[in-house]
Structure formats: structure tokens, C-alpha cells
Amino acid sequence: MVKNKILTKYVILTLLICSLIVLYLIITNLEYKIVVRDNTFIGIKDGIFKKKSDIVDFDIPYGVVSIGAYAFSSCDNLQSVNLPETVNSVDNYAFFECKKLQEIKLSSNLESIGDMSFYNCETLKYIELPNTLSEIGSSSFAECKNLKKIILPDSLESIGEFAFENCTNLREVKMSDSVSKVGENIFEGTEFINSLKPDEYGCIYLGNLLLKANDTKEYVKIKDSTKAIAAKAFINNIRIKNVDLPLGLIEIEDSTFEGCRTLESVIIPQGVKYLGEYAFLNSGLKRVVLPAGLEEISYGAFKDCYNLVEINLPSSIIDIKGGSFYGTKYLDSIKEDEYGCKYQENILLEYTGKSAEKIEIKAGTRLIAGSAFNNAESIKEVYIPKSVEHIGRYTFTKCHNLEKVEFEEDGKLTTVKGHSFDLCSNLKEIKLPKNIKTISEYAFFACGVETLRIPEKVEDMDLWAIAQCLSLKRIELPKSLKGKYYYPDYRPKIDLVFY
């Protein structure tokens, strides 16, 4: 009898405790909750009674540095938002399709607005962009059909493609001369772009930006004050034969002259440092003059320009991405060395051999172009001289039979770029040069190394630089990387040693 009473009391006490816990959980979850992690506003979690779809006005708490991706997803009735002065970035899709959003106060310290951040905020009529903003991402304000006016600040440097596309009521745009990088069709489908008239050469400008061009002229002179040409501005232009580019340009954007089959020659002016992806893809170019000071030729820049026979490569170039000259008479005309490598002065452009097992890159080589040895199945051993300063991305990717890479002592190489040796599954031995400072993402992804010693001067090593190296048993890293690096695969057999 006594035991039954004790048991009953125990059951009642247990039920009481459980009831209190349930009651506590109910009370604490009646309203929605704000989720902040590492100073990033992640989003809003629905409560039992109050849900994020009920929110009309919202103040983001002070201390938040970034508004995360999809942070206001499903906030269907949100009309007004205030960002504290601590916020410096709005991530991709942050206010995506907040269709009732009418007003937002941005931080005066905001630096970047991500892709599609305010996409289809169709009731947004005006937004004041702070004078700290340097980047507007792709389609950031696309489909904001009630946006009528935008003032782009003096601090702005880059506008992504389709940034204001189909803002059908956008009539007024004010912008300074600070913007130097512009994506394609940033104002397509707006009243504003329809109000701009082409000049005598068929070019449409906004200040110092060339936004687009009509295919009506064989000769085009771009006005002297032009600082940037939008991506794809001349794409598939069927008439243009010659173009006069002005001093003051900094970049030739992606696909700017792609498919211009009648374009015969171009002189890239002094000051241009970058040629974008597919900048002249499949064009009719025969002759190109590149300026001293050019630093990067991006992927496929002159790919399939079959008639290209003459081009110079300035000593200032530090990166040539893969496929830049693929399908050109220029590359075809360069003779292979004994190993099957094609050089233009001190730049190794491409390996076209089929059976070489050992490659000795010639002394004096300064740059190895990206993807130069990509998928070269026969190669087992590579010797890289100390003169090499730059190795491009994907240079030795998928060299499945590559077993050994030897760098000459006291080399000038300071960076192992992304994917340089990835998927070299038989690569067992590699001794990195002592002057290496940076090892980028997936540099040795899925390689066969068992032990890897990271040089003492390395300051930055991407967490995924040696991921999926399934044979790896030991990594030796300098003490300077302690607390900055960990092996992301979490296999207990890996010894992580700091020296």
C-alpha cells in the first residue's frame, strides 16, 4: 500500500514536471523568434501563434553585420524594414519576393548587395543607397516594377547583370563616374533605357558607361570618356569591322565582342588590366594588340577566333585562363617542343603531346597557363623550374597518372591556385616550394598524397585545398596556421601536426 502511494506521488510529480516543461515550451514559442548566428541575421522562426508571415514592420537588432541569404523568405506581409548601422552586407536573396515591401532603411555602412536581394519586391518605390556601397549583385532589383528613381552613389564600383531588369516604371537614374564594371542588360525592360538615344555609332551611354550598341555601323568609335563597356554590349554584332577603344578603359567585360564575325582587328588601350570570359569568342579577329600593364586573360577570351594569327603577350600578364586561344591559327602555328609543350616566349600556353611520361618545363618559363595539362593521361612526372612565378587554375587537373611533381629549389612561385592539381589520384609525392604563401581551394583535391608538408611561409590555406585526399595520413603545417586551419573531412586517421 505504501509502495503504491509512493509510486502514485512519483507519477504525479513526473506528470507535473512534464506539464511545466510543455507549458514553458508553449509560452516561449508563442511568438516568432529571430535567428542570429555569428553576427549574421539568418532569419525568423515561426511561433505557435505569431508567424513571420504576420510581420509588417521589422527592426533588425543592433550588432548584426550581415543579412543572410533568404533571411526574409515567406515574410509575405512585410512592408517596412530598418537595418542598423552595423550591417555591411545584404546577402543573395535576402528580401527575395517580399512583394509588399514598400520601405527599407539601409545602413550607412553598407558595402554590398547580393544577387537577387530585392528581386520582385514589386511595391518598392524608392530606396536610398548609401555612399559606402561598392557592389550591386546580379538581378538585385529586377522586377521591382514600382521603382521609379534610383541614385547610384559615388562609391559604387560594380553593377551585376540584369540588376534593374524589368523595373518597368524606372524613369530616372543618377550615377557618378565611379562604376568600372557592368554586367549585361542592367536596365533592360525599363522606361529609362528606352529614353536613351544612341549616338552616331549606334552606342547607348549612361555617363561614362557604354550600356549597349546597335549593329548598324562597320566602324565604331567609343567616346573618349568611356570607363566601362557592359558585358555583351556588342554580342553577335553582324556589321562591326573595326572598333576604336578609348584610353581610360579598365576592363573588357565578359562576352563584350562575342560572335562579332566581321570584326577584323582590335587595339586594346593602355590601362586595360583584364579581358573577361569569352570577350572575343568566335569573332573574326585576325590581329590583336594587347597593352603593357594587362594582367589577366580570362577563360575563352579568344576561343574559336579561327583567323587570329597575330597577338602579343605583354610581360605584365600574370594569369591566362584555360581555352583562351583554343581554336585559333595563332595557337596552331606555334611549334611544340620535344615534350609537346607550346611556348610564346616565357609563357607555356598549352601541352598538345599525347605520349610523354616526363615533362621538363623549360628554364626561364615565367607563367604556365590555366588548363595547360588538363586531362593529360600519359604524364607521370613533371619538373617545374624556379623561374615559374604563376601557375594557372586547373593546370594539371585530371592528370590521373601523374605520380611526382618536382619544383626546383628557391622558386619564385608564391600561390598554388584553385584546382591546380585536383583529381591527380596517383600523385604520391610533392614538395612545395618554400616561398609559397597561398594555397587556394581544391588545389590538391582528391590527390593520392600520403604525407604533405606545408611550407613555413604559407599565410592562407583554404580549408578545402586538400579535401578528399583519401590516402592522406599526415599533414605538417606551420604554427602560424594553428587556429586558422583544420582538415574538413574529419577522418580520425589524419595526423594534423604543427611545426
Quick one: the chain helix, strand, coil %, rounded to 5? 10, 25, 70
pLDDT at 29: 47
pLDDT at 266: 97
Alpha helices by DSSP H, listed for 305-417, are 329-333
Q: What is the CATH number of the domain that holds 403?
A: 3.80.10.10
Domains contained in the chain, number:
1
The residues with which 37 forms a beta bridge, in sequence order, are 40
Residue 143 lies in a domain: no
pTM of the model: 0.85
Instruction: Render pLDDT for 163-206 as a digit per residue (tens, 0 to 9).
Output: 999 999 999 999 888 898 999 999 999 999 999 999 999 999 99
Residues of the chain short of pLDDT 50, as ranges, are 25-26, 28-30, 47, 49
pLDDT at 296: 97
Instruction: Give the structural domain span for 408.
Output: 336-499
pLDDT at 30: 47
Residue 395 lies in a domain: yes
pLDDT at 25: 46
- State the pairing for strand pair 40-45/33-37: antiparallel
| Sheet of 57-59, strands arranged across | 57-59, 80-82, 103-105
Residue 165 lies in a domain: no
Concatenate the DSSP letters of all residues of 56-70 into one string.
SEEEPPTT--EE-TT
Cell 604524364 sits on residue: 379
Residue 434 lies in a domain: yes
Residue 459 lies in a domain: yes
Residue 80 lies in a domain: no
pLDDT at 48: 52
Extract the C-alpha cell encoding 115: 544577387
CA dihedral 264, 267, 268, 271 (to 10 degrees): -170
310 Cα distance to chain centroid: 31
> Residue 58: exposed, middle, or buried by beta-carbon count in 10 A (0-12, 13-18, 19+)?
middle
Residue 408: Cβ within 10 Å count: 16
Residue 351 lies in a domain: yes
CA dihedral 383, 389, 394, 399 (to 10 degrees): 0
Residue 386 lies in a domain: yes
Q: Spell out the residues 6+ positions from residue 455 whose beta carbon is closer than 8 angstroms to its own.
A: 432, 433, 434, 435, 436, 478
